[in-house]
């Protein structure tokens, strides 16, 4: 998130804080790494249903996970929501999460939550390659995300290594291919690519023809199509499939802090996110991210979730620290 956006988020949060002082109603504090707009759409539905007030403090995944680790048992946070799972795994490994009840996590299929119930996925995003239709023919598209490190892609790729989305893809690559192969791949990308701050910028650069292909998540393109097509009409999405690292499906995580003094309400919030009503609200929102509850589906034209053929990744194994180390070594951070 930009400095300005943080400032605005802070100003928006201020009235909540003031309102909270005036009455005795306890307020659930949510540290939110997911896109802010999604929570702005979902949280009022939860409050209407339950009467539980929420205060959303948004930031980026690693900023918030580092803050939680620093705050430890003194954290004011009750719920932690991440955009991608590596930041959640970091907080899990620090022992800061409360084990969730079975009925809170059971609506979510097992591959999208850790077996120990320390947190759960609640929405998913697919890695994709966006390509400029005038510059690249479908027959020229790579078989694997790994191929983009080859010299033939020099000067043609763009991506956003400072964002939690790209960092989750790197975490999956480490899990699937190992640290050494991931470093080699990143060095190839460094030699071939142009980096931008944010996936929306990558989308724009590919659409304008500045870049031939870009590594993003599916929803950036679909959202732009749903809004105007201004930044996506000249481009198309390529889904790698075949369990390729490029078909990695990343989950946004939800967890309850062990230090929370509102654990029951915090569990209700996570339960809202995993059960049909919250999942339907997710599906109906602007987000176009995949609901994980099998009872709920995104409407076309979004490529169906069960057709993605993602590689098998253990969500708890995705390591944020290792990703930051590698990106720093290669010179992206």
Task: Enumerate binding residues for Fe ion (CB under 5 A).
Answer: 165
Rounded alpha-carbon distances, angstroms, from residue 296 to 111, 120, 277: 17, 17, 9
Report H helices in 35-149.
36-50, 61-71, 85-93, 102-105
Cα–Cα distance for residue pair 292/276, rounded to 1 Å: 10
CB of 19 to Fe ion, least distance (A): 30
Comparison of 156 and 218: residue with beta carbon closer to Fe ion: 218
Exposure of 102 in the CB half-sphere (CA atoms within 13 A):
0
Closest residue to Fe ion, judged by C-beta, is 165
Q: For Fe ion, give the closer residue by CB, 163 or 311.
A: 163
Number of alpha carbons in the 13 Å side-chain half-sphere of residue 81:
28
Q: Which of 150/227 has CB closer to Fe ion? A: 227
Residue whose CB is less far from Fe ion, 165 or 244: 165
Helix (H, G, I), strand (E, B) or coil at 195: strand
| Nearest distance in Å: CB 21, Fe ion | 34
Report, in Å, the least distance between residue 286 CB and Fe ion: 13
Q: Which residues pair with 235 in a beta bridge?
A: 132
Task: Specify the residue, 40 or 71, whose C-beta has the smaller distance to Fe ion.
Answer: 40
Number of Cβ within 10 Å of residue 259's Cβ equals 18
Q: Which residues pair with 216 in a beta bridge?
A: 128
Question: In the bound complex, what is the minimum distance in angstroms from residue 219's beta carbon to Fe ion?
Answer: 7
């Amino acid at each position: 998130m930009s400095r300005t956006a943080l400032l605005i988020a802070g100003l928006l949060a201020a009235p909540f804080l003031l309102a909270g002082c005036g009455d005795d109603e306890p307020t659930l504090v949510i540290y939110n790494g997911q896109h802010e707009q999604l929570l702005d759409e979902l949280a009022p539905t939860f409050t209407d249903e339950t009467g539980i007030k929420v205060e959303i403090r948004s930031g980026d995944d690693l900023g918030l996970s580092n803050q939680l680790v620093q705050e430890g048992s003194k954290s004011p946070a009750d719920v932690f929501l991440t955009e991608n799972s590596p930041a959640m795994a970091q907080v899990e490994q620090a022992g800061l999460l409360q084990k969730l009840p079975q009925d809170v996590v059971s609506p979510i299929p097992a591959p999208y939550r850790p077996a120990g119930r320390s947190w759960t996925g609640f929405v998913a995003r697919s890695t994709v390659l966006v390509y400029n239709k005038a510059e690249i023919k479908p027959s020229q598209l790579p078989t694997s995300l790994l191929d983009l490190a080859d010299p033939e892609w020099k000067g043609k790729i763009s991506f956003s290594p400072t964002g939690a989305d790209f960092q989750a893809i790197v975490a999956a690559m480490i899990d699937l291919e190992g640290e050494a192969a991931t470093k080699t791949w990143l060095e190839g990308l460094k030699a071939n690519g142009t980096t931008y701050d944010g996936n929306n910028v990558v989308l724009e650069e590919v659409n304008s023809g500045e870049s031939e292909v870009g590594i993003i998540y599916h929803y950036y393109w679909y959202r732009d199509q749903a809004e105007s097509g201004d930044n996506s009409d000249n481009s198309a999405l390529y889904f790698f499939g075949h369990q390729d690292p490029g078909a990695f499906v990343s989950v946004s995580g939800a967890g309850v802090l062990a230090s929370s003094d509102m654990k029951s309400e915090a569990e209700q919030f996570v339960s809202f996110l995993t059960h049909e009503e919250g999942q339907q609200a997710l599906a109906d929102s602007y987000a176009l991210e995949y609901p994980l509850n099998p009872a709920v589906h995104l409407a076309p034209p979004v490529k169906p979730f069960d057709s993605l053929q993602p590689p098998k990744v253990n969500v708890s194994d995705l390591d944020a620290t290792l990703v930051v180390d590698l990106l720093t070594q290669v010179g992206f951070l």
